[in-house]
Chains A and B, each alone.
Chain A
Amino acid sequence: MYEFTYHKPASLDDAAKLLANDEAKLVAGGMTLVPTLKQRLANPSDLVDLAAIGTLKGIKEEGGGLTIGAMTRHAEVQRSADVKRVIPALAALAGMIGDPAVRNRGTIGGSISNNDPAADYPAALVGLGATVVTTKREIGAEDFFTGLFETALAQDEIVTAVKFPKPQAAAYQKFKNPASRYAIVGVFVARTPGGVRVAVTGAGPCVFRVPEMEAALGKSFGADAIKDIAIPDDGLNSDIHASAEYRAHLVNVMARRAVASCA
């Protein structure tokens, strides 16, 4: 690790001020950042830890949906009685992230701000049509995730919470990378008042929706309805664990399984 100056501000304002320095980086749970620093793959001048800002923590039931503070840990989402009742698929998804010790530290805000193409949360946010609340504005999930490790966040903008509307039904199916246990393909399917949403993580450089499947499921919500919808493998990720072609195939399999477990 390269040396940096560590800060633990007590307020979002103080944190934002520290971030005015382009070389500063936020740390939430640190489950991605600390390993990156250890490998000397990043060299921030300052590290701004959000752990002392109490307003970023917690899960609230609001407007029939859930508002989850940015510093809420995966384990808290996984075990929350409110999440299990309102959006059980979200609790289940949180329980599939990393491993138990990682879930005890990793946060929703950190995960989505990093936007790893194989992370789980982006599928839930896009699949549920969630809204990301930041220190500057509210952003729809699809506008928030802009590309490979890219988000709409400005350098001094901090995610404070995510608002999830309650779906009629939802499910997440994940095919894990056998080594890293990140998603090779993860598919989140939700039946919402606005229609069916299908969001895919792991397969491409950034989370994406599958409109053809959404339309077919809108007409007839069942696994058979999407059986023949093939995802083109153009632009999908390809590595030693899974080719683009295999990932495209898995999107269909995981989508059907998510639909089946949604019923």
Chain B
Amino acid sequence: MAETGTPAIGQPVRRREDFRFLTGQGTYTDDINRPGQLYAYILRSPHANARIAGLDTGAAASAAGVAAVYTGKDMAADGIGGLPCGWQIHSKDGSPMHEPAHPVIAVDRVRHVGDQVAVVIADTLVHARDAAELIRIDYVVEPATADASEALKPGAPLVWPEVPGNLCYDWHLGDPAATDAAMAKAARVVRLDLTNNRLVPNAMEPRAAIGDFDRATNEFTLFTTSQNPHVIRLLMGAFVLHIPEARLRVVAPDVGGGFGSKIYHYAEEAIVTWAAGKLKKPVKWTADRSESFMSDAHGRDHATHVELGVDGEGKFVALKVSTIANMGAYLSTFATCVPTYLYGTLLAGTYTTPVIYVETKAVFTHTVPVDAYRGAGRPEATYLLERIVDLAADELGIDPADLRRKNFIPADAFPYQTPVALQYDSGNYQATLDLATKAADYAGFETRRQEAAGRGKLRGIGIATYIEACGIAPSAVVGSLGARAGLFESAAVRVHPTGSVTILTGSHSHGQGHETTFAQLVADGLGVPMESIEIVHGDTAKIPYGMGTYGSRSLAVGGTAIVKAMDKIIAKGKKIAAHLLEAAEADIEFKDGNFSVAGTDRSKSIGEVALTAYVPHNFPHDELEPGLDETAFYDPKNFTYPSGAYIAEVEIDPDTGRVEIVNFNASDDFGRIINPMIVAGQVHGGLAQGIGQALLERCVYDKTSGQLLTGSYMDYTMPRADDLPAFALSTHATLCAHNPLGVKGCGEAGAIGAPAAISNAIVDALKPLGVRHVEMPVTPEKLWRVIQQHKTSLAAE
């Protein structure tokens, strides 16, 4: 660590944020209470598709403690706008996507179970909830459609009358003619239909929001559980409530996990802010978990057909993918880019497949909006690719590891241009697969399979490699693809007169440990001790305009912004030091916190330079302004491309269909690692969510009524400690070639690679029965049925 004279970067520095969390001193949104605060209870639709024929709030409005009852019509009367979508996709024919209105509170019609119908605001939450029961609603319930494939069929109930066939857009990427031609010449075409199961993100902290209005200054403040407070300020201020930035402050304090679900601008944020302005009092809303299930954006929910063409040597010659993606009833903030540019562009994976074509139909259904959830598009791409590669290996009789090696982009081929738009800057897929196969004793597996068979268990081993595009994102690139935002990051480095340092970052930490990792960067970069560095984030009144945390971007983009701001500090410091040391600026070197004249022992510490900057008695006023405070905005040149190889080993109890994970080896390439302890934690968490998707988690709607059947932890299976194994991790670094730190990002990897590794291991275990595929989540009954069916058909042969 810096304080002991060794570099902080690369050290498993213990987290500075932990003390407050370990002692119950964290400040999450629901921990905040404002003087005179009122409480909002949101009445939600029990129906998936219904016309609101009548809505009588009279009795509720006059109930005990009630300050106001508002409906969608009240908001419309105030000229309140709808929730915006941040990314416009164009269909194959060039037409823009359908983008229906997204009212903050439903008007005339509800479109999913949980849709907002009215809000009751009262002196206590109990009064608000009691009063909500007095609201009389005359629903005319109509048929609903919850399944995206069904929703596309003629005659399916329409979510939006103006959207024929419920088709939001019909997008594609790649060269269909070239792909078909290559496929026609392939020695073998491997085909598979598969679904990517719908998930509920389930950050442990339920969403919450407090709107506040200051009558003296005419300013609004929103405290909210967000991953990106400036994005919320922009979307809510500009598009929904029409409040200029200078009068709207958004604070995202300690946030209890996000995983994507807290990126989006949600209705409740607008409701409490608007209501606070109307009532001139703070208004607080906190979701209970049941509300989270029916109002947080969900994840995944794809149905896909994939074809992989392979030549006589086992080389992949073409890949063709057709996907139906569920959008839910409304377009959430970034929903539209997930099954397109975060998905189709990843389909080369780690392989040299020369031609690829992907088409995605995005479909409206009577369900909660679907948006990015940890990995977002990349887990879906990796899952189908790694499943079809395993099937190809099986059909060709080639070992799955060997088939992958045969098709890997070689380590000396970077930069590598894929046929689906991305240019990978660095990687070594062979190296991570070698690490993983060695750690997993891949070669010795057959002995273990036989040993397990002796105990009546079916044992299997499965590999998945992955690549992800993260460090989101070059603004010009995403802008040309339809993004309605820039995706740079900001940082301000403020060196104080005594040499202590405050970093103001646009990244947001909700578990990622930025207060530690960023401090490590600064400790090394400026040569100051960790304890003299403070990291500030999450408050639009304090930090420069920042885009927040998602897409594994905080270090690659936010960290680089800090480096750029430190570069400016050092450049200015050199000028000041040159003046103080009466030397030429070109002769000043900066190292370990000291500006020195090259080849001499004359130097000034950064503290001395800072003091001079703020007490500028002897200062080059002709050249410089006083102060040592610099801001940088960094817009990345490219995505970053973490990659890796995961190997899962499972045992199946054929009597019950229960799967046990007996080994899990993950080998990742994240580029340079700043804090290996934190990186390992990120991988563990991603793996748990990926394993959850593979074995446990599924969001189930009744297909015709649209009722949410997994609306609580009684039915939605959260991974618990006893569901998961201990994880064995290793890393191999190839540095990112286009950011100064050489970092790539690690937050999503586990969730991307784990589902395919587990699925491949399960199918491998069942290979003796002739099983080709089992859909996720591989629940005990599903697996038991597959085993029964295949045993029966084997016996019949």
Contacts and interface: CB of A to CB of B under 8 A. Distances in A.
The answer to whether A and B touch in the complex, with CB atoms under 8 Å apart, is yes
A231 interface: no
Contacts, number: 37
Contacts of A241: 715, 779, 781
A58 B197 CA distance: 48
Interface stretch (B537-545, B706-714, B744-752): B706-714
B656 interface: yes
Contacts of B710: 179, 240
A240 to B, nearest CB: 5
Contacts of B784: 246, 249
Residue in B700, B709, B716, B780 whose Cβ sees the most chain A Cβ within 10 Å: B780
B403 to A, nearest CB: 33
A240 B714 contact: no
Interface string B697-728: 00010000000011001111110000100000
A250 B715 contact: no
B18 interface: no
Contacts of A178: 696, 717, 723, 779-780
Contact of B716 (A179, A243, A249, A253): A179
Contacts of A180: 713-715
A221 interface: no
A242 B781 contact: yes
B715 A240 contact: yes
Given A246-B784, A253-B656, A240 B709 contact: yes
Contacts of A249: 784
B655 A253 contact: yes
Interface residues of A, number: 14
B714 A246 contact: no
Number of chain B interface residues as a range: 20 to 34
B709 A179 contact: no
B779 A179 contact: no
Q: Is the interface of B mostly helix, strand, loop or mixed?
A: loop
A246 B717 contact: no
Interface in B106-135: 126
Interface in B736-793: 779-781, 784-785
B599 to A, nearest CB: 67
A243 B781 contact: yes
Interface in A235-257: 240-243, 246, 249-250, 253
B771 to A, nearest CB: 18
A242 B696 CA distance: 13
Interface in A152-195: 175, 178-180
Contacts of B696: 178
A39 B714 CA distance: 13
A253 B656 CA distance: 8
Contact of A240 (B290, B655, B700, B723): B700
B644 to A, nearest CB: 28
B387 to A, nearest CB: 23
Contacts of A243: 781
Contacts of A175: 656, 780
Given A242-B781, A243-B781, A246-B781, A179 B714 contact: yes
Residue in A178, A243, A249, A250 whose Cβ sees the most chain B Cβ within 10 Å: A178
Contacts of B715: 179-180, 240-241
Contacts of A1: 126
A178 to B, nearest CB: 4
A179 B717 contact: yes
A180 B126 CA distance: 27
B656 A250 contact: yes
Interface in B676-711: 696, 700, 709-710
B789 to A, nearest CB: 13
Contacts of B713: 179-180
B655 A179 contact: no
A102 to B, nearest CB: 13
A175 B657 CA distance: 11
Contacts of A250: 656
Nearest to A256: B655
A253 B788 CA distance: 14
Contacts of B718: 179
B631 to A, nearest CB: 48
A250 B780 CA distance: 11
A39 B711 CA distance: 13
Given A178-B723, A240-B715, A246-B781, 15 more contacts: A175-B780, A178-B779, A178-B780, A179-B710, A179-B713, A179-B718, A180-B713, A241-B779, A241-B781, A242-B780, A242-B781, A243-B781, A246-B784, A249-B784, A253-B655
Please provide the 10 A-B residue pairs with the shortest distance between their CB atoms, ordered closest to farther. A179-B717, A180-B714, A246-B781, A178-B717, A253-B655, A179-B715, A240-B700, A242-B781, A240-B709, A178-B696
26 contacts: A1-B126, A39-B290, A175-B656, A178-B696, A178-B717, A178-B723, A178-B779, A179-B710, A179-B715, A179-B716, A180-B713, A180-B714, A180-B715, A240-B700, A240-B709, A240-B710, A240-B715, A241-B781, A243-B781, A246-B780, A246-B781, A246-B784, A246-B785, A249-B784, A250-B656, A253-B656
